[in-house]
Protein backbone atom coordinates (compact mmCIF):
# COMPACT_ATOMS: atom_id res chain seq x y z
CA UNK A 1 0.00 0.00 0.00
CA UNK A 2 1.24 3.58 -0.57
CA UNK A 3 2.96 4.77 2.58
CA UNK A 4 1.53 8.27 2.35
CA UNK A 5 -2.08 7.19 2.31
CA UNK A 6 -2.82 3.64 3.34
CA UNK A 7 -6.25 2.32 2.49
CA UNK A 8 -8.38 -0.76 2.77
CA UNK A 9 -8.05 -3.84 0.63
CA UNK A 10 -11.29 -2.95 -1.15
CA UNK A 11 -9.60 0.24 -2.37
CA UNK A 12 -6.67 -1.62 -3.92
CA UNK A 13 -6.48 -1.66 -7.73
CA UNK A 14 -4.52 -4.36 -9.53
CA UNK A 15 -3.21 -5.04 -13.00
CA UNK A 16 -4.84 -7.78 -15.04
CA UNK A 17 -1.74 -9.95 -14.61
CA UNK A 18 -1.86 -9.58 -10.83
CA UNK A 19 -5.53 -10.53 -10.66
CA UNK A 20 -4.86 -13.65 -12.71
CA UNK A 21 -1.98 -14.58 -10.38
CA UNK A 22 -4.23 -13.99 -7.35
CA UNK A 23 -6.86 -16.19 -8.98
CA UNK A 24 -4.28 -18.95 -9.55
CA UNK A 25 -3.08 -18.61 -5.95
CA UNK A 26 -6.61 -18.95 -4.56
CA UNK A 27 -7.18 -22.07 -6.66
CA UNK A 28 -3.72 -23.62 -6.43
CA UNK A 29 -2.56 -22.74 -2.92
CA UNK A 30 -5.80 -22.32 -0.98
CA UNK A 31 -7.46 -25.35 -2.50
CA UNK A 32 -10.53 -23.56 -3.84
CA UNK A 33 -12.05 -25.44 -6.76
CA UNK A 34 -11.90 -23.32 -9.92
CA UNK A 35 -15.35 -24.31 -11.08
CA UNK A 36 -16.80 -23.53 -7.65
CA UNK A 37 -15.18 -20.08 -7.87
CA UNK A 38 -16.73 -19.59 -11.31
CA UNK A 39 -20.14 -20.55 -9.97
CA UNK A 40 -19.74 -18.06 -7.13
CA UNK A 41 -18.91 -15.34 -9.65
CA UNK A 42 -21.96 -16.18 -11.76
CA UNK A 43 -24.27 -16.17 -8.73
CA UNK A 44 -22.89 -12.81 -7.60
CA UNK A 45 -23.33 -11.28 -11.05
CA UNK A 46 -26.85 -12.65 -11.38
CA UNK A 47 -27.79 -11.23 -7.96
CA UNK A 48 -26.59 -7.82 -9.10
CA UNK A 49 -28.59 -8.21 -12.30
CA UNK A 50 -31.92 -8.95 -10.63
CA UNK A 51 -31.48 -6.16 -8.09
CA UNK A 52 -30.72 -3.58 -10.78
CA UNK A 53 -33.22 -4.90 -13.36
CA UNK A 54 -35.93 -6.84 -11.48
CA UNK A 55 -38.10 -8.97 -13.71
CA UNK A 56 -36.43 -7.93 -16.95
CA UNK A 57 -36.49 -10.51 -19.76
CA UNK A 58 -35.60 -11.88 -22.16
CA UNK A 59 -31.86 -11.81 -21.50
CA UNK A 60 -29.31 -12.03 -24.28
CA UNK A 61 -26.12 -13.64 -22.94
CA UNK A 62 -23.03 -13.35 -25.15
CA UNK A 63 -20.27 -15.84 -24.31
CA UNK A 64 -16.64 -16.00 -25.38
CA UNK A 65 -14.12 -18.82 -25.22
CA UNK A 66 -12.35 -18.28 -21.89
CA UNK A 67 -13.38 -18.20 -18.25
CA UNK A 68 -15.28 -14.98 -18.92
CA UNK A 69 -17.46 -16.99 -21.30
CA UNK A 70 -17.81 -19.65 -18.62
CA UNK A 71 -19.17 -17.03 -16.25
CA UNK A 72 -21.70 -16.08 -18.92
CA UNK A 73 -22.94 -19.65 -19.42
CA UNK A 74 -23.47 -20.02 -15.68
CA UNK A 75 -25.28 -16.67 -15.47
CA UNK A 76 -27.60 -17.94 -18.20
CA UNK A 77 -28.14 -21.12 -16.18
CA UNK A 78 -29.01 -19.07 -13.09
CA UNK A 79 -31.50 -17.05 -15.11
CA UNK A 80 -33.20 -20.16 -16.54
CA UNK A 81 -33.49 -21.71 -13.07
CA UNK A 82 -35.22 -18.52 -11.93
CA UNK A 83 -37.75 -18.76 -14.76
CA UNK A 84 -36.38 -15.99 -16.96
CA UNK A 85 -36.37 -16.21 -20.73
CA UNK A 86 -32.79 -16.42 -21.99
CA UNK A 87 -31.15 -16.44 -25.40
CA UNK A 88 -27.51 -17.52 -25.13
CA UNK A 89 -25.12 -16.92 -28.05
CA UNK A 90 -21.76 -18.71 -28.30
CA UNK A 91 -19.72 -15.94 -29.93
CA UNK A 92 -16.71 -18.25 -29.82
CA UNK A 93 -17.28 -21.86 -30.97
CA UNK A 94 -18.03 -24.13 -28.02
CA UNK A 95 -15.53 -26.71 -29.32
CA UNK A 96 -12.80 -24.24 -28.34
CA UNK A 97 -13.88 -24.31 -24.70
CA UNK A 98 -11.69 -26.07 -22.20
CA UNK A 99 -11.32 -26.59 -18.45
CA UNK A 100 -13.80 -24.79 -16.21
CA UNK A 101 -15.32 -22.88 -19.12
CA UNK A 102 -16.24 -26.12 -20.88
CA UNK A 103 -17.73 -27.49 -17.67
CA UNK A 104 -19.77 -24.29 -17.32
CA UNK A 105 -21.16 -24.67 -20.85
CA UNK A 106 -22.05 -28.29 -20.18
CA UNK A 107 -23.83 -27.36 -16.95
CA UNK A 108 -25.76 -24.58 -18.66
CA UNK A 109 -26.98 -26.95 -21.36
CA UNK A 110 -27.90 -29.54 -18.72
CA UNK A 111 -29.89 -26.87 -16.86
CA UNK A 112 -31.95 -26.09 -19.95
CA UNK A 113 -30.07 -23.19 -21.54
CA UNK A 114 -30.40 -23.25 -25.32
CA UNK A 115 -27.04 -22.19 -26.72
CA UNK A 116 -26.94 -20.93 -30.30
CA UNK A 117 -23.68 -20.63 -32.23
CA UNK A 118 -22.99 -17.21 -33.69
CA UNK A 119 -21.89 -18.95 -36.89
CA UNK A 120 -25.47 -20.18 -37.33
CA UNK A 121 -26.82 -16.64 -37.33
CA UNK A 122 -26.48 -14.79 -40.61
CA UNK A 123 -24.93 -11.33 -40.47
CA UNK A 124 -28.12 -9.59 -41.66
CA UNK A 125 -30.03 -11.31 -38.86
CA UNK A 126 -27.66 -10.33 -36.09
CA UNK A 127 -29.29 -6.99 -35.30
CA UNK A 128 -32.69 -8.70 -35.08
CA UNK A 129 -31.28 -10.93 -32.30
CA UNK A 130 -30.71 -7.83 -30.21
CA UNK A 131 -34.15 -6.42 -31.03
CA UNK A 132 -35.81 -9.32 -29.22
CA UNK A 133 -33.88 -8.76 -25.96
CA UNK A 134 -34.38 -6.39 -23.03
CA UNK A 135 -30.97 -6.81 -21.39
CA UNK A 136 -27.54 -7.96 -22.59
CA UNK A 137 -24.98 -9.87 -20.52
CA UNK A 138 -21.50 -9.31 -21.95
CA UNK A 139 -19.25 -12.29 -21.16
CA UNK A 140 -17.18 -12.27 -24.33
CA UNK A 141 -13.65 -11.01 -23.64
CA UNK A 142 -12.00 -11.12 -20.22
CA UNK A 143 -8.81 -9.79 -18.67
CA UNK A 144 -6.58 -12.07 -20.75
CA UNK A 145 -7.36 -10.21 -23.96
CA UNK A 146 -5.50 -7.07 -25.05
CA UNK A 147 -5.54 -4.95 -28.16
CA UNK A 148 -8.44 -4.24 -30.47
CA UNK A 149 -11.09 -7.01 -30.59
CA UNK A 150 -11.07 -9.05 -33.76
CA UNK A 151 -14.01 -10.45 -35.65
CA UNK A 152 -16.47 -11.78 -34.82
CA UNK A 153 -16.19 -10.01 -31.46
CA UNK A 154 -15.82 -6.50 -32.87
CA UNK A 155 -18.98 -6.91 -34.94
CA UNK A 156 -20.98 -8.24 -32.00
CA UNK A 157 -19.73 -5.40 -29.79
CA UNK A 158 -20.88 -2.90 -32.41
CA UNK A 159 -24.31 -4.54 -32.44
CA UNK A 160 -24.47 -4.30 -28.64
CA UNK A 161 -23.80 -0.60 -28.73
CA UNK A 162 -26.19 0.05 -31.63
CA UNK A 163 -29.00 -1.73 -29.82
CA UNK A 164 -29.20 0.86 -27.05
CA UNK A 165 -30.00 -1.95 -24.58
CA UNK A 166 -28.63 -1.91 -21.04
CA UNK A 167 -25.57 -4.14 -20.68
CA UNK A 168 -24.23 -5.96 -17.65
CA UNK A 169 -20.52 -6.57 -18.27
CA UNK A 170 -18.95 -9.56 -16.56
CA UNK A 171 -15.61 -8.61 -14.96
CA UNK A 172 -15.01 -5.86 -17.55
CA UNK A 173 -16.60 -4.58 -20.75
CA UNK A 174 -15.31 -6.52 -23.76
CA UNK A 175 -12.68 -4.53 -25.64
CA UNK A 176 -11.36 -2.66 -22.58
CA UNK A 177 -7.81 -3.14 -21.34
CA UNK A 178 -8.19 -4.10 -17.69
CA UNK A 179 -4.81 -2.62 -16.71
CA UNK A 180 -4.64 0.66 -18.61
CA UNK A 181 -8.27 1.60 -19.20
CA UNK A 182 -7.53 2.03 -22.91
CA UNK A 183 -9.68 0.73 -25.75
CA UNK A 184 -7.93 0.29 -29.07
CA UNK A 185 -11.09 -0.68 -30.96
CA UNK A 186 -14.74 -1.43 -30.33
CA UNK A 187 -15.64 -1.61 -26.64
CA UNK A 188 -18.94 -2.49 -24.98
CA UNK A 189 -20.79 0.43 -23.39
CA UNK A 190 -22.01 -1.12 -20.15
CA UNK A 191 -24.58 0.16 -17.69
CA UNK A 192 -23.06 -1.99 -14.94
CA UNK A 193 -19.84 -3.96 -14.56
CA UNK A 194 -19.54 -6.69 -11.95
CA UNK A 195 -15.88 -7.42 -11.25
CA UNK A 196 -14.36 -10.16 -9.11
CA UNK A 197 -11.49 -11.04 -6.72
CA UNK A 198 -9.55 -7.79 -7.17
CA UNK A 199 -10.51 -4.43 -8.64
CA UNK A 200 -8.82 -3.73 -11.98
CA UNK A 201 -7.17 -0.37 -12.57
CA UNK A 202 -8.58 -0.02 -16.07
CA UNK A 203 -12.15 0.09 -14.81
CA UNK A 204 -11.53 3.44 -13.13
CA UNK A 205 -9.52 5.58 -15.56
CA UNK A 206 -9.38 6.47 -19.25
CA UNK A 207 -12.05 4.80 -21.34
CA UNK A 208 -12.93 2.58 -18.40
CA UNK A 209 -14.50 5.49 -16.56
CA UNK A 210 -16.73 6.09 -19.59
CA UNK A 211 -17.80 2.56 -20.53
CA UNK A 212 -18.08 0.57 -17.28
CA UNK A 213 -21.19 2.21 -15.86
CA UNK A 214 -21.68 1.36 -12.19
CA UNK A 215 -18.82 -0.85 -11.04
CA UNK A 216 -19.81 -3.51 -8.50
CA UNK A 217 -17.04 -5.39 -6.72
CA UNK A 218 -17.44 -8.97 -5.50
CA UNK A 219 -14.61 -10.46 -3.42
CA UNK A 220 -15.97 -14.05 -3.74
CA UNK A 221 -14.59 -14.60 -0.22
CA UNK A 222 -11.07 -14.48 -1.65
CA UNK A 223 -9.74 -11.51 0.32
CA UNK A 224 -7.31 -13.67 2.28
CA UNK A 225 -5.91 -14.99 -0.97
CA UNK A 226 -5.40 -11.46 -2.26
CA UNK A 227 -3.24 -10.66 0.77
CA UNK A 228 -1.39 -13.97 0.93
CA UNK A 229 -0.59 -14.00 -2.78
CA UNK A 230 1.83 -11.12 -2.24
CA UNK A 231 0.58 -9.28 -5.32
CA UNK A 232 0.92 -5.52 -4.81
CA UNK A 233 -1.71 -3.09 -6.07
CA UNK A 234 -0.55 -0.58 -8.65
CA UNK A 235 -3.13 1.99 -7.57
CA UNK A 236 -5.46 2.93 -4.74
CA UNK A 237 -9.01 4.06 -5.40
CA UNK A 238 -9.83 7.29 -3.55
CA UNK A 239 -13.38 8.48 -3.03
CA UNK A 240 -14.84 11.19 -0.83
CA UNK A 241 -15.91 8.88 1.98
CA UNK A 242 -12.41 7.37 2.21
CA UNK A 243 -10.52 10.68 2.46
CA UNK A 244 -12.73 12.59 4.90
CA UNK A 245 -10.23 12.00 7.67
CA UNK A 246 -7.40 13.64 5.72
CA UNK A 247 -8.71 17.17 6.30
CA UNK A 248 -6.89 19.07 9.04
CA UNK A 249 -8.83 19.59 12.25
CA UNK A 250 -9.96 23.05 13.28
CA UNK A 251 -9.84 23.57 17.05
CA UNK A 252 -11.99 26.20 18.73
CA UNK A 253 -9.01 28.53 19.18
CA UNK A 254 -7.96 28.33 15.50
CA UNK A 255 -6.73 31.48 13.76
CA UNK A 256 -5.94 32.33 10.15
CA UNK A 257 -2.21 31.92 10.67
CA UNK A 258 -2.66 28.19 11.23
CA UNK A 259 -4.06 27.42 7.82
CA UNK A 260 -1.48 28.85 5.49
CA UNK A 261 -1.18 31.67 3.01
CA UNK A 262 -1.84 30.78 -0.64
CA UNK A 263 -0.43 33.07 -3.31
CA UNK A 264 -2.05 32.64 -6.73
CA UNK A 265 0.11 33.95 -9.57
CA UNK A 266 -2.17 34.05 -12.58
CA UNK A 267 -4.16 36.03 -15.09
CA UNK A 268 -2.39 37.70 -17.99
CA UNK A 269 -4.31 40.08 -20.26
CA UNK A 270 -7.55 38.51 -21.44
CA UNK A 271 -7.38 35.68 -18.88
CA UNK A 272 -8.10 37.45 -15.62
CA UNK A 273 -10.95 35.09 -14.74
CA UNK A 274 -8.59 32.13 -14.40
CA UNK A 275 -6.73 33.73 -11.51
CA UNK A 276 -9.98 34.76 -9.84
CA UNK A 277 -11.35 31.22 -10.04
CA UNK A 278 -8.20 29.73 -8.52
CA UNK A 279 -8.05 32.33 -5.76
CA UNK A 280 -11.71 32.03 -4.81
CA UNK A 281 -11.47 28.23 -4.83
CA UNK A 282 -8.48 28.48 -2.45
CA UNK A 283 -10.47 30.78 -0.15
CA UNK A 284 -13.40 28.35 -0.17
CA UNK A 285 -11.09 25.41 0.60
CA UNK A 286 -9.88 26.55 3.98
CA UNK A 287 -6.74 28.60 3.33
CA UNK A 288 -6.13 31.10 6.14
CA UNK A 289 -5.06 33.82 3.72
CA UNK A 290 -5.25 34.08 -0.06
CA UNK A 291 -3.41 36.58 -2.27
CA UNK A 292 -3.70 37.02 -6.02
CA UNK A 293 -0.86 38.42 -8.11
CA UNK A 294 -2.29 39.36 -11.50
CA UNK A 295 -2.19 42.04 -14.18
CA UNK A 296 -3.16 45.50 -12.85
CA UNK A 297 -6.24 45.71 -15.09
CA UNK A 298 -7.80 42.74 -13.29
CA UNK A 299 -7.54 44.08 -9.73
CA UNK A 300 -10.91 45.85 -9.57
CA UNK A 301 -12.84 42.89 -10.97
CA UNK A 302 -11.07 40.46 -8.64
CA UNK A 303 -11.84 42.54 -5.54
CA UNK A 304 -15.47 42.86 -6.60
CA UNK A 305 -15.73 39.12 -7.16
CA UNK A 306 -14.04 38.01 -3.93
CA UNK A 307 -13.16 40.78 -1.46
CA UNK A 308 -11.61 38.30 0.98
CA UNK A 309 -8.69 37.82 -1.45
CA UNK A 310 -5.78 40.28 -1.28
CA UNK A 311 -5.21 41.36 -4.89
CA UNK A 312 -1.98 42.83 -6.26
CA UNK A 313 -1.48 44.24 -9.74
CA UNK A 314 1.99 43.39 -11.03
CA UNK A 315 3.66 44.78 -14.13
CA UNK A 316 7.01 43.01 -13.86
CA UNK A 317 8.39 39.86 -12.26
CA UNK A 318 10.70 41.90 -10.03
CA UNK A 319 7.61 42.89 -7.99
CA UNK A 320 6.80 39.28 -7.07
CA UNK A 321 9.53 38.26 -4.54
CA UNK A 322 8.03 40.29 -1.68
CA UNK A 323 4.72 38.48 -2.14
CA UNK A 324 6.47 35.12 -2.42
CA UNK A 325 8.24 35.69 0.90
CA UNK A 326 4.89 35.88 2.71
CA UNK A 327 3.37 32.82 1.03
CA UNK A 328 3.14 29.27 2.36
CA UNK A 329 2.24 27.75 -1.03
CA UNK A 330 2.19 29.27 -4.51
CA UNK A 331 -0.32 28.38 -7.23
CA UNK A 332 1.10 29.44 -10.57
CA UNK A 333 -0.22 29.07 -14.08
CA UNK A 334 -3.96 29.67 -14.58
CA UNK A 335 -4.27 32.18 -17.43
CA UNK A 336 -0.59 33.04 -16.96
CA UNK A 337 0.12 33.33 -20.66
CA UNK A 338 3.38 32.39 -22.34
CA UNK A 339 4.66 35.90 -23.10
CA UNK A 340 7.34 37.78 -21.15
CA UNK A 341 5.02 38.55 -18.21
CA UNK A 342 4.19 34.89 -17.65
CA UNK A 343 7.80 33.82 -18.13
CA UNK A 344 9.00 36.32 -15.53
CA UNK A 345 6.39 35.20 -13.02
CA UNK A 346 7.17 31.52 -13.41
CA UNK A 347 10.91 32.15 -13.13
CA UNK A 348 10.43 33.99 -9.83
CA UNK A 349 8.16 31.24 -8.47
CA UNK A 350 10.61 28.46 -9.35
CA UNK A 351 13.66 30.36 -8.05
CA UNK A 352 11.90 31.05 -4.74
CA UNK A 353 11.90 27.34 -3.89
CA UNK A 354 8.47 27.74 -2.29
CA UNK A 355 6.06 24.79 -2.22
CA UNK A 356 4.07 25.20 -5.40
CA UNK A 357 1.23 23.99 -7.58
CA UNK A 358 1.97 24.45 -11.29
CA UNK A 359 -0.90 24.36 -13.76
CA UNK A 360 -1.90 25.42 -17.27
CA UNK A 361 0.54 27.90 -18.86
CA UNK A 362 3.13 27.28 -16.15
CA UNK A 363 3.28 23.71 -17.46
CA UNK A 364 3.45 24.85 -21.08
CA UNK A 365 6.37 27.11 -20.19
CA UNK A 366 7.94 24.34 -18.13
CA UNK A 367 7.95 22.00 -21.14
CA UNK A 368 10.43 24.27 -22.93
CA UNK A 369 12.80 24.74 -19.98
CA UNK A 370 15.50 22.64 -18.38
CA UNK A 371 14.07 22.12 -14.90
CA UNK A 372 15.60 20.58 -11.80
CA UNK A 373 13.14 18.13 -10.21
CA UNK A 374 11.59 19.48 -7.00
CA UNK A 375 10.10 17.43 -4.18
CA UNK A 376 7.76 20.20 -3.01
CA UNK A 377 5.86 20.81 -6.24
CA UNK A 378 2.60 19.50 -7.64
CA UNK A 379 2.08 19.48 -11.40
CA UNK A 380 -1.52 19.26 -12.63
CA UNK A 381 -1.46 18.63 -16.41
CA UNK A 382 -4.34 17.60 -18.60
CA UNK A 383 -3.41 15.03 -21.29
CA UNK A 384 -2.40 17.73 -23.81
CA UNK A 385 -0.07 19.41 -21.33
CA UNK A 386 1.26 16.03 -20.25
CA UNK A 387 2.08 15.21 -23.87
CA UNK A 388 4.03 18.46 -24.22
CA UNK A 389 5.94 17.76 -21.01
CA UNK A 390 6.78 14.26 -22.24
CA UNK A 391 7.42 15.40 -25.83
CA UNK A 392 4.95 12.88 -27.20
CA UNK A 393 1.43 12.76 -28.63
CA UNK A 394 -1.79 12.78 -26.59
CA UNK A 395 -2.77 9.21 -27.65
CA UNK A 396 0.54 8.02 -26.22
CA UNK A 397 -0.46 9.50 -22.86
CA UNK A 398 -3.98 8.11 -22.96
CA UNK A 399 -2.97 4.58 -23.93
CA UNK A 400 -1.53 4.11 -20.41
CA UNK A 401 -2.37 6.99 -18.11
CA UNK A 402 -0.75 5.44 -15.05
CA UNK A 403 2.54 4.93 -16.88
CA UNK A 404 2.43 8.49 -18.24
CA UNK A 405 1.86 9.99 -14.79
CA UNK A 406 4.67 7.92 -13.33
CA UNK A 407 7.05 8.97 -16.09
CA UNK A 408 6.24 12.63 -15.54
CA UNK A 409 6.82 12.25 -11.81
CA UNK A 410 10.19 10.62 -12.37
CA UNK A 411 11.22 13.51 -14.65
CA UNK A 412 9.93 16.44 -12.61
CA UNK A 413 9.80 15.10 -9.05
CA UNK A 414 7.19 15.99 -6.46
CA UNK A 415 3.66 14.92 -7.36
CA UNK A 416 2.00 14.72 -10.76
CA UNK A 417 -1.77 14.86 -11.07
CA UNK A 418 -2.87 13.75 -14.54
CA UNK A 419 -6.36 15.10 -15.10
CA UNK A 420 -9.17 13.30 -16.86
CA UNK A 421 -11.83 10.76 -16.03
CA UNK A 422 -10.16 8.75 -13.30
CA UNK A 423 -7.55 11.37 -12.36
CA UNK A 424 -4.13 9.82 -11.63
CA UNK A 425 -1.93 11.09 -8.79
CA UNK A 426 1.68 9.83 -8.91
CA UNK A 427 3.99 10.70 -6.03
CA UNK A 428 6.81 8.18 -6.43
CA UNK A 429 5.07 5.74 -4.09
CA UNK A 430 4.69 2.12 -5.20
CA UNK A 431 1.02 2.68 -6.00
CA UNK A 432 -0.56 5.73 -7.57
CA UNK A 433 -3.86 7.18 -6.37
CA UNK A 434 -6.92 7.36 -8.61
CA UNK A 435 -9.78 9.73 -7.87
CA UNK A 436 -12.76 7.45 -8.40
CA UNK A 437 -15.53 8.72 -10.60
CA UNK A 438 -16.14 11.10 -13.47
CA UNK A 439 -18.43 14.00 -14.32
CA UNK A 440 -19.00 15.14 -17.93
CA UNK A 441 -20.07 18.55 -16.69
CA UNK A 442 -16.45 19.26 -15.78
CA UNK A 443 -15.46 19.34 -19.46
CA UNK A 444 -15.47 23.13 -19.66
CA UNK A 445 -12.91 25.91 -19.34
CA UNK A 446 -11.91 27.01 -15.87
CA UNK A 447 -12.47 23.72 -14.02
CA UNK A 448 -8.72 23.14 -13.84
CA UNK A 449 -8.22 26.60 -12.35
CA UNK A 450 -10.64 25.71 -9.57
CA UNK A 451 -8.76 22.45 -8.95
CA UNK A 452 -5.41 24.20 -8.65
CA UNK A 453 -6.85 26.59 -6.07
CA UNK A 454 -8.34 23.75 -4.03
CA UNK A 455 -5.05 21.85 -4.04
CA UNK A 456 -3.08 24.96 -3.12
CA UNK A 457 -5.31 25.60 -0.10
CA UNK A 458 -5.10 22.00 1.11
CA UNK A 459 -1.33 21.97 0.62
CA UNK A 460 -1.00 25.17 2.65
CA UNK A 461 -2.92 23.92 5.66
CA UNK A 462 -1.61 22.23 8.78
CA UNK A 463 0.22 19.31 7.18
CA UNK A 464 2.02 21.53 4.63
CA UNK A 465 5.45 20.90 6.13
CA UNK A 466 5.23 17.09 6.19
CA UNK A 467 6.80 14.91 3.50
CA UNK A 468 3.46 13.43 2.57
CA UNK A 469 1.73 16.82 2.22
CA UNK A 470 2.00 17.22 -1.57
CA UNK A 471 0.57 13.76 -2.30
CA UNK A 472 -2.23 14.11 0.20
CA UNK A 473 -3.14 17.61 -0.98
CA UNK A 474 -3.23 16.52 -4.63
CA UNK A 475 -5.34 13.42 -4.01
CA UNK A 476 -7.68 15.12 -1.55
CA UNK A 477 -8.02 18.08 -3.89
CA UNK A 478 -8.95 15.89 -6.86
CA UNK A 479 -11.56 14.01 -4.82
CA UNK A 480 -13.06 17.18 -3.32
CA UNK A 481 -13.18 18.84 -6.75
CA UNK A 482 -15.06 15.88 -8.22
CA UNK A 483 -17.43 15.63 -5.27
CA UNK A 484 -18.28 19.33 -5.44
CA UNK A 485 -18.90 19.04 -9.18
CA UNK A 486 -21.23 16.10 -8.61
CA UNK A 487 -23.17 18.03 -5.96
CA UNK A 488 -23.45 21.03 -8.26
CA UNK A 489 -24.51 19.01 -11.29
CA UNK A 490 -27.18 17.22 -9.25
CA UNK A 491 -28.83 20.64 -9.01
CA UNK A 492 -27.88 22.21 -12.33
CA UNK A 493 -27.21 19.28 -14.66
CA UNK A 494 -24.10 18.62 -16.70
CA UNK A 495 -24.54 20.85 -19.72
CA UNK A 496 -24.99 24.10 -17.84
CA UNK A 497 -22.32 23.46 -15.18
CA UNK A 498 -19.67 26.20 -14.85
CA UNK A 499 -16.65 26.50 -12.53
CA UNK A 500 -18.29 28.95 -10.14
CA UNK A 501 -21.02 26.35 -9.50
CA UNK A 502 -18.31 24.00 -8.24
CA UNK A 503 -16.81 26.71 -6.04
CA UNK A 504 -20.24 27.40 -4.56
CA UNK A 505 -20.62 23.70 -3.70
CA UNK A 506 -17.28 23.45 -1.89
CA UNK A 507 -18.52 24.61 1.56
CA UNK A 508 -21.25 21.96 1.55
CA UNK A 509 -18.71 19.26 0.72
CA UNK A 510 -16.22 20.34 3.36
CA UNK A 511 -19.00 20.65 5.93
CA UNK A 512 -19.44 16.87 5.83
CA UNK A 513 -15.88 16.46 7.07
CA UNK A 514 -16.52 18.60 10.12
CA UNK A 515 -17.30 16.45 13.19
CA UNK A 516 -19.64 19.12 14.52
CA UNK A 517 -19.53 22.72 15.47
CA UNK A 518 -16.59 23.72 17.66
CA UNK A 519 -18.15 27.10 18.36
CA UNK A 520 -18.23 27.92 22.05
CA UNK A 521 -21.75 27.99 23.49
CA UNK A 522 -23.01 29.31 26.77
CA UNK A 523 -24.24 26.55 29.08
CA UNK A 524 -27.96 26.22 29.62
Q: Show binding-site residues for (6S)-NADPHX.
A: 67-71, 142-148, 171, 274, 335, 382, 449
**Alpha helices (runs of H) in 284-339, residue ranges in sequence order:** 299-305, 321-326
Beta strands, E only, 19-149 = 59-63, 86-90, 115-117, 135-139
C-alpha to C-alpha distances, 465 to 3, 432, 470, nearest whole angstrom: 17, 21, 9
Angstrom distances, CA of residue 383 to CA of 58, 223, 364, 380, 420: 42, 35, 12, 10, 7
DSSP designation for 252: T
Q: Strand pairing partners for 87?
A: 60
Q: For 445, list phi and psi in degrees, rounded to 5.
A: -60, 140
Binding positions for AMP are 419-423, 448
Alpha helices in 114-199 (DSSP H): 123-131, 153-163
Q: What residues form the annotated binding site? A: 67-71, 138, 142-148, 171, 174, 274, 335, 382, 419-423, 448-449
Quote the strand ranges of 333-407, DSSP E: 356-358, 377-379
Beta-carbon neighbour count of residue 58 at 10 Å? Answer: 14
Rounded to 5 degrees, what angle do the CA atoms 487, 489, 490 make?
A: 65
What number of other Cβ atoms are within 10 A of residue 334's Cβ? 33
- Find, among 325, 335, 381, 326, the residue nearest to 357 by Cα: 381
Residue 377 Rama label (left phi>0; alpha psi -120 to 50; beta)? beta
Helix (H, G, I), strand (E, B) or coil at 415: strand
Q: Which residues are annotated as a binding site for K(+)?
A: 68, 138, 174
Q: Is the dihedral of CA 95, 97, 99, 102 positive or negative?
A: negative
Residue pair 152/129 in contact by the 8 Å Cβ criterion: no
Question: Phi and psi of 249, rounded to 5°?
Answer: -70, 155
Q: What is the Cα Rg of the chain in Å?
A: 26
Q: How far is CA 342 from the centre of its chain?
A: 31
Amino acid sequence: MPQHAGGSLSDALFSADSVRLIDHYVIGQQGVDGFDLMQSAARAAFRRLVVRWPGVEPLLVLCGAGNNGGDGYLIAANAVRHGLAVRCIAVAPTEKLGGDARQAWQKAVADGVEVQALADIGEPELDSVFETAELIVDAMLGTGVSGAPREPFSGVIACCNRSGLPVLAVDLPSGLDATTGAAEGEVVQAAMTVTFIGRKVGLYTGQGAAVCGDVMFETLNASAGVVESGEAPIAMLRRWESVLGWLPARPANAHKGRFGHVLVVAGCRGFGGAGMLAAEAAARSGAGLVSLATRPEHVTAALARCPSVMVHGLIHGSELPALLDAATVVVCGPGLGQNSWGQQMLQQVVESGKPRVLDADALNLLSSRVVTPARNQILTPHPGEAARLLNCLVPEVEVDRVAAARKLQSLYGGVVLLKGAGTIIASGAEAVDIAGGSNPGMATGGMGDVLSGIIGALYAQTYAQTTEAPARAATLGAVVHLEAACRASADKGYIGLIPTDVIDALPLVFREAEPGSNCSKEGE
